[in-house]
Amino acid sequence: MLLEVKNLAVSFSTYRGKVKAVRDVSFSVDEGRTIGIVGESGCGKSVTAHAVMGLLPRENSIIEHGKIIFKDKDILKLTEAEMNRLRGNEIAMIFQDPMTSLNPVLTVGTQLTESLFLHKRLKKDEARQKAAELLKLVGIPSAEQRLDDYPHQFSGGMRQRVMIAMALACEPKLLIADEPTTALDVTVQAQILALLKDLQQKFGMAIILISHDLGVIANLCDDVAVMYAGQVVEYGSAEEIFYNAHHPYTKGLLKSLPRLTDKKGEPLSVIEGQPPDLKQAINFCPFAMRCTKAMRICAVQMPAVTAVNGGHYVKCWLEHELAPKEDF
Ligand code: SF4
């Protein structure tokens, strides 16, 4: 397995108390595979990704426990220098907003060649040539000339292509894409997803795709982890999650997707309520206050993980044979 995240828990100290943002998260991804992490804002998906990249803010983040095994090494035990060698080289990341992720005062060429100097020790001419090849690879016309342009001279979709080119510069084994298409319009979104799929086939890298959009996840992922309140509440192949979802939260997310068959004027389905306060200890089902299927046990005991099908797991008392089925 290329990457295994095991029982990861991450907290942040804030002046209002400790926020337990990620609670016992486990998942894995192998070369050439894509795992989607889905859930609403604040569920811990980006914090998980930043932990894998070693990009959590040093001043207030705490890794409570867990392991992040990348190529048989726990990267939580690496020194800063070792992590710097890995980051941008073997593990790369694409961020949500390409405008704020690119440096506006440096040309695209300068930004693209930086990691090639740093990790691949290329000479100036070689790095420039490689950078032009990368821009061409991600579908930017007149690549050679565009190296001297600044980010504001590119459209939103083109900037995201530049970000992808930067991430791929050192041919990483693992690419983390954190909401890579959220800031783009729908047609550009489809082009970027097709590009990612194409590049994955070319390089055989693993992808962790983070999104709140199940449509995006369906397009690209082999496996899906559904996160809620810092926990993975359902995990399985994309087919299982989309066609055989068991957790009421996953079902709610799927129901809230707009469909072409929806009647005109009909309001979209929503999941009522708010996630729990992550500063509190949660010793019960975190979805209990929003769940239409909640039972008495849900409010007093954390649900156990139950295997539904080969490789499909759900954290819900409804699936557990020992749970007494009484109304909440
Ligand atoms: Fe709903 Fe209970 Fe399942 Fe939680 S454990 S999702 S409250 S049925």
* Residues 124-166: tens digit of each pLDDT: 889 999 999 888 888 888 999 999 999 999 988 888 889 888 8
Is 6 touching ligand 1 by the criterion CB < 6 Å? no
pLDDT at 212: 85
Q: Mean pLDDT across the stretch 121-126? A: 88
Asked if residue 56 lies in contact with residue 68, where contact means CB atoms within 8 angstroms, the answer is no
Please state the separation of Cα 11 from the chain's center in Å: 18
pLDDT at 191: 81
Of the pLDDT bands very low, low, confident and very high (cuts 50, 70, 90), residue 268 is confident
pLDDT at 28: 95
pTM greater than the 0.75 cutoff = yes
Q: How far apart are CA 315 and CA 325, in angstroms?
A: 16
pLDDT at 228: 96
pLDDT at 137: 86
The single residue listed with the structure tokens 């020790």 is 121
* Residues 278-327: tens digit of each pLDDT: 998 899 999 999 999 999 999 999 998 999 888 899 999 998 766 555 54
pLDDT at 176: 94
Q: What does the H/E/C string look like for the chain?
A: CCEEEEEEEEEEEECCEEEEEEEEEEEEECCCCEEEEECCCCCCHHHHHHHHHCCCCCCCEEEEEEEEEECCEEHHHCCHHHHHHHECCCEEEECCCHHHHCCCCCCHHHHHHHHHHHHHCCCHHHHHHHHHHHHHHCCCCCHHHHCCCCHHHCCHHHHHHHHHHHHHCCCCCEEEEECCCCCCCHHHHHHHHHHHHHHHHHHCCEEEEEECCHHHHHHHCCEEEEEECCEEEEEEEHHHHHHCCCCHHHHHHHHCCCCCCCCCCCCCCCCCCCCCCCCCCCCCCCCHHHCCCCEHHHHCCCCCEEEEECCEEEECHHHCCCCCCCEC
User: Measured in Å, how far apart are the chain's first and last C-alpha atoms?
Assistant: 41
Residue 226 has pLDDT above 90, yes or no: yes
* Residues 246-258: tens digit of each pLDDT: 999 999 999 887 7
Of the pLDDT bands very low, low, confident and very high (cuts 50, 70, 90), residue 328 is very low
Is 285 touching ligand 1 by the criterion CB < 6 Å? yes
CA of 298 to the centre of ligand 1 (A): 6
Residue 244 has pLDDT above 80, yes or no: yes
Please state the separation of Cα 242 from the chain's center in Å: 18
Taken in order of first residue, the domains within the chain and their CATH numbers are 3-90+170-257+268-327 (3.40.50.300)
User: What residues pair up with 205 in beta bridges, in sequence order?
Assistant: none
Q: Looking at ligand 1, which residue's alpha carbon is closest to its atom 3?
A: 316
pLDDT at 284: 94
Cβ neighbours for 252, distance < 8 A, ≥ 6 positions apart:
269, 271, 290
CB-CB neighbours of 134 under 10 Å = 23
Asked if residue 4 lies in contact with residue 67, where contact means CB atoms within 8 angstroms, the answer is yes
- In degrees, to the nearest 5, what angle opens at C-alpha 30 toward C-alphas 29 and 33? 85
CA of 237 to the centre of ligand 1 (A): 21
How large is the angle between the packed helices 186-203 and 156-168, nearest 10 degrees? 20
Is 248 touching ligand 1 by the criterion CB < 6 Å? yes
CA of 131 to the centre of ligand 1 (A): 50
pLDDT at 64: 95
Q: Which atom of ligand 1 is nearest to the CA of 319?
A: 3
Looking at per-residue confidence, does 186 or 137 come out higher? 137
Is 296 touching ligand 1 by the criterion CB < 6 Å? no
CA-based nearest residue to 67, from 6, 2, 3 = 6
CA-based nearest residue to 62, from 26, 20, 24 = 20
Asked if residue 211 lies in contact with residue 38, where contact means CB atoms within 8 angstroms, the answer is yes
CA of 313 to the centre of ligand 1 (A): 14
pLDDT at 31: 94
Of the pLDDT bands very low, low, confident and very high (cuts 50, 70, 90), residue 53 is very high
Q: How far apart are CA 110 and CA 132, in angstroms?
A: 11
**Mean pLDDT in the chain?**
89
Looking at per-residue confidence, does 320 or 220 come out higher? 220
Choose one of 250, 283, 287 to mutate for the ligand 1 pocket test, by most ligand atoms within 8 angstroms of C-beta: 287
Identity of the residue numbered 25: V
Q: How far apart are CA 27 and CA 208, in angstroms?
A: 10
The phi and psi torsions of 77 (rounded to 5 degrees) equal -100, 0
Of the pLDDT bands very low, low, confident and very high (cuts 50, 70, 90), residue 168 is confident
